[in-house]
A = this chain, B = another copy of it.
Amino acid sequence: MAPEIFELGPTAVEGGATIPNLKLAYVTHGELNAEKSNAILFPTWFGGNHPSNAWIIGPDKALDPSRYFIVVVNIIGNGQSSSPSNTPAPFDGPRFPYVSVLDNVKAQRRLMSEVFGVDVLKLVVGRSMGAQVAFQWGAYYPDKVERILPFVGSARTSVHNYIFLENVKTAMTSDPAFEDGEYKEPLTLAFRRMRLVFDSWGLSQAFYRQNLHLKMGFATTREYLDRVQPGAVTDANNVLAQVATWQGADLSRNELYGGDYAKALAGITAKAIVMPSRTDMYFPPEDSEIEVSHMPNAELRVIPSVWGHRAGAPGTDPVDIAFVDQAVRDILAR
């Protein structure tokens, strides 16, 4: 479905630029009630877009459009909201400025407030980079969000995660056709290389030990590695814009907290379930444990999965997806 567009006008972002007309692309599910008390925000993740988020929305799901007003908002840089691929000069392509998680959160707050008149969100739920958005909402607008459910993500990007992402950047920039971001047609090699990075990082040792990759319908590991699998984000500069947002994620790097990580986590007064995957190699559960130890109203609930970072994602183990759904149910019941 084609998304709605919210135009924010000239908007300064952390990269130092003012984007002349920043746009957020979003879709909604369900109806806002009269009290405007049933709004749930569900941002997308790195490499995803609004259709990607549909898998846990439905009448039989915790995110039930007959009860809640669910706003799926595209992360800036994903090709739907303002992005290198759709922004006019002087901020087109490789000239698109750095946009932080907080820039996203501020824009999302305006969306909810100016378009829907929603002041307080019932829940912000997000996966991966969307989880970073949920954490940032909780810390930056503590009285504007009642609940957060960040899963397979973190409140700030760890050094290890940052270094892993350098490999994703290399996948893009090493393509001879990349040409400093001035490529003339979509890149192929770059995305093949990126898939290889995620094939090794995004799942787990246990996943491959159980040969679950073959159970997806491949005869051999080679056939699996050589598969064609178009992603939602197909533009290299968009990938790099999102990597920059991810690498820079830190809920405390703003005027409220001045870089004090523990204080920022302590500032999240919303009810929270923080949900890492047991086998996630770049958002490992140890980081979530530290986060929760600083948060006043948070539960740590580890997804007991071998799917690594992909635990609970669309097209993965239904048991994990049900686990995520149950957590959404539980947090909404609090």
Contacts and interface: CB of A to CB of B under 8 A. Distances in A.
B163 A200 contact: yes
A46 B286 CA distance: 30
A56 to B, nearest CB: 27
Interface residues of A, number: 34
Given A170-B196, A176-B176, A160 B208 contact: yes
Nearest to A193: B170
A207 to B, nearest CB: 8
Nearest to A163: B200
A167 B166 contact: no
Given A170-B196, A176-B176, A196-B170, A163 B221 contact: yes
User: In the complex this chain forms, how many copies of it are found?
Assistant: 2
A203 B200 CA distance: 15
A140 to B, nearest CB: 24
B286 A209 contact: yes
Nearest to A209: B158
A124 to B, nearest CB: 25
B193 A159 contact: no
Contacts of A112: none
A223 interface: no
Interface string A272-299: 0000000001101011000000000000
Contacts of A174: 174, 193
A208 B176 contact: no
A162 B204 CA distance: 13
A206 B162 contact: no
Nearest first, the 7 closest Cβ-Cβ pairs linking A and B are A159-B208, A160-B208, A164-B200, A160-B205, A174-B174, A163-B200, A205-B284
